Structure 1
Amino acid sequence: MRVLIAAFAHTSHFHGLVPLAGALRAAGHDVRVASQPGFVDSITGAGLTAVPVGEDHRLLEAMQQKGAEIQRYSANIDLSHPEVFDWDYVFNLFDLSVPYFYSVINDESFVRELVGYARQWQPDLVLWEPYTFAGAIAARACGAAHARLMGASDLNAYFRRAFLERLRERPAGQRPDPLRDWLAGAAEQYGVAYDEELVVGQWTVDMLPERFRLDLSLPTVPVRYVPYNGRTVVPDWLKTAATRRRVCLTTGSTGTSFTADPAVFHRYLQVLAQIDAEIVVTTDAAALREVGPLPKNVRAVGFAPLDVLLESCSAVIHHGGFGTWSTALYHGVPQVMVPHVWDTLLRAQQTAAEGAGLYLREGAVSAEGLRDSVARVLAEPSFLNQARRLRDEARAESSPQDVVPVLEELTGRHRDVRTAASTAQVPVA
């Protein structure tokens, strides 16, 4: 079958999709990945066929304009207190996300060219990154089956459900729905009628282990997370076994408050270096050294392939991002997290509840508190034992290769052959 993967240009979101794309290709299916033109090298670097569509998105500009306001509704999300997600909260979340995020990465040119390509190529299945709603529109426009590829906790569906519940409680005539209005307008240009399937797909392929998934009663195909870091070369210092315990500190693409200022970060490293371990920091090494010399047991590297690095580590300190968290889980490494944005606090709470790590609230963490948390994780065997238990559970999930027959069966069930045939010659609006 033909499989079209639609993903907006974002490295960490794309990396999680690569192993399944590779499994589909290995099974003999024709796989192509559609994204903005500036992302072509990342796609082809993964050994996949790229389809550049639309113009490069301008998400960074949008975030500079409204990022701080959006974070009011997308940071420090604590699902243990659902009462805070009232009408004002969920409405503002979508009212800001639509113009400054969703419609930016799914702009008119991206949707138009993706639909045009889908109608011409006629995929059987469209798999789309969960913010790339253009993939759902394109699938419906050409009659393909379609599903989300979820590489995070499904707060998208969680908050959509909360929004619709609050919306039904509103007085008649006072029921605005920013997501529906935008998505319906984008879809109707191509003869696609709006329904909630455009938001959550016909089903979801979920890389999160079952224990950590939100109970949303959506059709789900679980698949094991397999680490992929892009083009990877093992550096010389990782070719030999470590001579002492190793702790990785990585800030990911979002970072945390204490890593933003090199001088502040330098002080944190001075305190962390009091631990009897090698501290490997994946950050701008030159900026840190401009502040002053680093302790002898701190190794600052600009980049290290996380999959290779973490298998040698006794603990990892990070911001809670899905890729870092999942790779640590995959290797059974205890985690110390400083979460902040979107679903990072949820995963930190879940990991701590399972006894496989600790977390500290972003903005209220001291260098000494971080040091003590890492020292505790290293000293108490229960953290390693629990991390290995979760590792074994995660690796028992269906592999990407195992999932391919399931996707074949679902595609046959959901693909609208009549729509595909009728739209094959329809010009793009």
Structure 2
Amino acid sequence: MYEVSEILFTALEGLIFIVAFVSLSDCRDYILKHYRKVIFFVVFYTIYTYLMSIIFPKGLQTIPIAILTIIILNFMFNSSLVKTLIKYFLYLMAMSLVELFLVVFGVIVLKLPAIFIINNDNAVFICSIIAKLVEAIAALVLYKSNLSINFFIDKESSNSRFRQILILISSVLFLLVCLNIYITSNPDKLLAFNTFSFIVYAVLIIAVVFVFREVSRLELLEFASELEKENIKQLIEFNEMVAKERHEYKNHLNTIYGLCTLNKPDLNEKIKLYINSYANNNDTRNIAIDSGNDYVDAIINVKYNNAIRKGINLIVDFDAPLSSAKIAEDVAVTIISNIIENAFESIVTIDKEKKYISIQTYIDKNNYFISISNNGPMISESDKKKIFNAGFSTKDNSTKKRGFGLSIVLAEIERFGGSITINSNDEVTEFLVSLKVNSQQSISQVAL
């Protein structure tokens, strides 16, 4: 009975201690947030305290228990070793004062000899109950008081987890070596020592695993943070670049609009010459297109002429008109234009006799599809994951002015509730855009 009660008292002591420790450290939410660690500490504290009391003579067990407890708490809270030491000894002092008060009370008030109180099992049992009750109440009052002492609070933890685990392993191994020397002269305590050693080694392995997991998590968070910073920086640069380009385009558009409003002969030719000189389209050819979107027809004519100059065959088949898709006309221009430009960049560098870019549209199961494919180089799986990121480009991008077209495409497609997938192999690369169909009426019209 007394052995069981001693184990229970030790477990209660561990719980009281952790409550008092978090109260002094002003991190009261630690118990609820990390209750598994608290339970683990209480269980482990109970085991090694009980085993130490068996291995060491009475009185001497306090030293190794104190060393082990301080190191474990220092590791758990990643705290300053000095502050952990002071907090532990404050608790130890408070516990000793309670026990001393009970002994003095028994000697003075109850007129019992001190030797009787210390050596009598019943007296020790009663004193332990009262002591633990007083300590539990004191710890609870401290926890609820919201007392905050700045000296005990670790405002910025500067301790490295690797350093912590190194201190923990070194101290425990030193303790085990000392115990081993002591045990050689006490073979009857060998079982308790071996049990204690096994538990300590198991705990050290768990601690090492925990440290490496935490370090890996921190490295991932740091990498994600750096990536986010880089993305934000690229977006800012992109916005600045777009603002400059927009200003230039606006000037040219205003000039063209102004020419349209003048009442002068041969203005059509002048407007064409101005646009051709700006767009570098000196020799233009027209391709008969009926996409259902006049803006797209116009931009494809421009791309068609670019394709001729680059030695690329541009194949166009709008089986389903763009008017059937749920998307704004200007956004359709942005999507098709950017994907074709991306295809131009990839296909122009390869050495093939017949290069082509194909644009097809069709409706399948109430979804409108735009397929833009080319026979350029295959896109790797790793590039597929990054190709829609702002600023990503497989070409030289030291100026950070490339790699924004496809990120704009993705944003516009998703804005209209669509999606885009990439299918790529050695023969062909396809960008497949899926959009919602306008209505059942448009579907039936297409079917007819």
TM-score (norm 1): 0.20
TM-score (norm 2): 0.19
RCO higher in structure (CA 8 A, sep ≥6): 1
Which is greater in Rg? 2
